Amino acid sequence: MTEVRMRLRQKGQQFPTQDLEAFLLAFGDNDYPLPETVRVLDEIVTDYIIESCHEAAAVAHHARRAKIKLDDFKFMLRRDTGKLGRVSEMLETDKELKRKRKAFDTDEGAVLQKGDARGEEEEGGAGSKKKGGGEEDGGERKKKKKKKEKGRKERGADDESVV
């Protein structure tokens, strides 16, 4: 069970009632479950998360690391093939979505850069404003946002090398 001090620090319900009710409904409960049922489910889920984190911390400690890594959670779930399979599936899906987002952002940025390099902005400046000035502004905003992010990354690298 979870340590008493951990439970004392927590005040009230940790998860939204609507989410917990949706879980109960998905597993065959009534449309309107009792408040006590929702409260107990909240305690069970919270206790499970806390205990899982404690176990992962113990694995990290055994490996003589101060920080918990994703592999510690995988190692902790090694005996529960269902949960481990679901975690692996979710991680693969997350990687795939990140890869697709990155490819989409790169393609979009390349299109904007090609348009600027050809000088299309100067030639069709007045005509493009009449057709869709909002799109031009959106492109400019994206460029500025990317420049800001790039600047932050560069500054972050400098800060890390100093520390």
Distance CA 9, CA 38 (A): 20
pLDDT at 30 over 70: yes
pLDDT of residue 153: 54
The closest alpha carbon to 46, from 91, 81, 9, 73, belongs to 9
Q: Let me know the angle formed at the C-alpha of 64 by 63 and 68, rounded to the nearest 5 degrees.
A: 75
List the single range of 10-19, 35-44, 74-83 with lowest mean pLDDT.
10-19
Is the per-residue pLDDT at 147 higher than 90? Answer: no
- The CA-atom distances, in angstroms, between 110 and each of 10, 33, 81, 159 are 49, 53, 43, 30
User: 163 or 153: whose pLDDT is higher?
Assistant: 153
* Start-to-end CA span in the chain (Å): 40
70 to each of 51, 127, 133, how far by Cα in Å? 15, 53, 46
pLDDT band of residue 154 (cuts 50, 70, 90) is low
Please state the pTM of the whole predicted model. Answer: 0.56
Q: What is the pLDDT of residue 158?
A: 47
